[in-house]
């Protein structure tokens, strides 16, 4: 006779930094939740990063090898990874994983083709034509993380839009493993994305190499891709030398959920994003009158505890929730949207009834990406929908957008003025020029007009 199964222990609650009404949120806690940009490189990281970048700028390949020995305890025989190695990694990839990566690559390409910038022109007056043309950057660099974990998805998210935009030369840097090469799955992603060159260099060293150029690693016009605090700080410091994508920090999620959303779905998304990093910021705004929203808050807490027991990275999740997690009740969608616009989340999940009803979705501003409905899990956007997962964090979404083909072009503006239009423009142009103390401009306009008249 089998002994009865033991009764499961009750789920221990996961403590969040704040739980309760938005109106009662203490100013100091509100400031902490708002200031995710403060989770950034400290002074020692900034100064050490500056020294690394200067070493790479002055010493090139020799400095890269020396820094690899001192930082990673690795002796790099070759900085560049042979293409044959990528192809072997792709051929050896688990077939199911390869199919998933190929599916993701197709969707990324399809979505970014649809959003590709196109030339435009207009005629503000008869005889005046003004145009703008997107020209692909000559060379870009993709950073693919590969220290504690490898992220082939980030390589695809950077390289494929660059190719769609028409960039002729796409290079990738990714940290080497003990083999001296990046992880096999990153090498396989490089092959799938069709990049031109792959280098076994990581961290701030890689950013410096791509920004300044060395004998082996060519200088690029823009560097994109996520990374740790060292990578983020290095990108910030080289941004006067080359373009970078939006500032990137720890992962963020803001959920707006009313009574139509399941507590299990809210908890699922909070846990998934909190497992990224102890510094991740995850908030849920629970919309409804008084006790209705309070009851939903309690249900989400219970779901967090239940689902949390099954999470292998529970220790990381617990740290993130305790530091920058919140379950906040708000009485109306309007107040939730106002808070969301101020918080400017990397990921915003909209779990409400009729999300397409004005002014819900169309009224949201500043989010890196919005996920509409509880079935639109952020994980789908991270890997498979084709939307880009390289997104602004720390409130930078007020200014920056998610990575797209627009990040891989620069615009050429052109204009043409007919003789008749020149004659009509000259007097007003001359008046402007005289008012600004530029008589040469005024004279040039009048002379062109005189020459244009029969």
How far, in Å, are 35, 195, 310 from residue 45 at the CA level? Answer: 19, 31, 35
Q: Quick check: is 346 catalytic?
A: yes
Largest CA distance in the chain: 112
Positive or negative: CA dihedral 67, 72, 75, 81: negative
Q: In which residue are the tokens 């040039």 written? A: 444
Please say whether the beta carbons of 34 and 281 come within 8 A.
Answer: no
DSSP 71: I
Q: How far apart are CA 341 and CA 357, in angstroms?
A: 17
- Look-up of token digits 């400290």: 42
Residue 184 CA: distances (Å) to CA of 94, 150, 178: 11, 9, 12
Phi, psi of 369 (to 5 degrees): -150, 140
**Catalytic residue (one of 85, 347, 389, 400):** 347
340-376 exposure pattern, b = at least 16 Cβ within 10 A, e = fewer: bbebbbbbbbbbbeebeeeebbeebebbbbbbeebeb
Q: What is the DSSP letter of 214?
A: -
Q: Would you call 306 helix, strand, or coil by DSSP?
A: helix
Q: Which of 346, 374, 389, 400 is catalytic?
A: 346
Which residues have a catalytic role annotated?
Answer: 346-347
């Amino acid at each position: 006779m089998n002994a009865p199964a033991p009764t499961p222990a009750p789920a221990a609650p996961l403590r969040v930094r704040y739980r309760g009404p938005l109106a009662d949120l203490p100013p100091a806690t509100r400031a902490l939740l708002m200031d995710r940009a403060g989770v950034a490189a400290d002074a020692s990281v900034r100064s050490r990063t500056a020294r690394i970048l200067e070493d790479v700028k002055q010493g090139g390949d020799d400095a890269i090898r020396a820094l690899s020995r001192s930082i990673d305890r690795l002796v790099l025989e070759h900085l560049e990874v042979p293409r044959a190695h990528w192809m072997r990694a792709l051929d050896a990839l688990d077939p199911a994983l390869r199919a998933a990566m190929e599916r993701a690559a197709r969707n990324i390409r399809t979505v970014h083709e649809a959003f590709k910038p196109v030339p435009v022109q207009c005629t503000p007056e008869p005889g005046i034509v003004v145009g703008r043309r997107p020209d692909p950057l000559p060379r870009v660099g993709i950073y693919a993380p590969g220290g504690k974990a490898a992220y082939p998805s980030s390589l695809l998210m950077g390289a494929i839009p660059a190719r769609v935009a028409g960039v002729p030369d796409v290079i990738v840097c990714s940290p080497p493993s003990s083999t001296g090469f990046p992880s096999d799955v990153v090498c396989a992603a490089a092959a799938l994305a069709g990049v031109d060159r792959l280098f076994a260099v990581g961290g701030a060293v890689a950013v410096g190499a791509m920004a300044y150029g060395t004998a082996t690693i060519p200088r690029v016009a823009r560097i994109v891709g996520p990374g740790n605090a060292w990578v983020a700080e290095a990108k910030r410091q080289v941004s006067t030398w080359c373009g970078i994508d939006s500032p990137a920090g720890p992962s963020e999620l803001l959920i707006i959920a009313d009574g139509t959303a399941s507590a299990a779905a809210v908890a699922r998304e909070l846990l998934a994003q909190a497992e990224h990093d102890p510094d991740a910021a995850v908030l849920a705004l629970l919309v409804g009158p008084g006790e209705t929203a309070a009851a939903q808050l309690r249900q989400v807490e219970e779901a967090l505890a239940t689902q949390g027991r099954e999470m292998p990275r529970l220790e990381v999740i617990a740290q993130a929730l305790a530091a920058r997690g919140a379950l906040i009740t708000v009485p109306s969608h309007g107040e939730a949207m106002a808070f969301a616009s101020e918080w400017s989340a990397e990921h915003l999940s909209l779990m409400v009834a009729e999300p397409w009803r004005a002014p819900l979705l169309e009224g949201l501003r500043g989010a890196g990406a919005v996920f509409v409905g509880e079935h639109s899990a952020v994980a789908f956007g991270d890997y498979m929908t084709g939307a880009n997962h390289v997104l602004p964090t720390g409130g930078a979404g007020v200014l920056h957008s998610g990575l797209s083909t627009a990040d891989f072009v620069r615009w050429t503006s052109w204009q043409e003025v007919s003789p008749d239009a020149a004659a009509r423009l000259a007097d007003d142009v001359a008046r402007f020029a005289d008012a600004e103390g530029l008589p040469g401009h005024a004279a040039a306009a009048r002379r062109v007009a005189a020459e244009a008249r029969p």
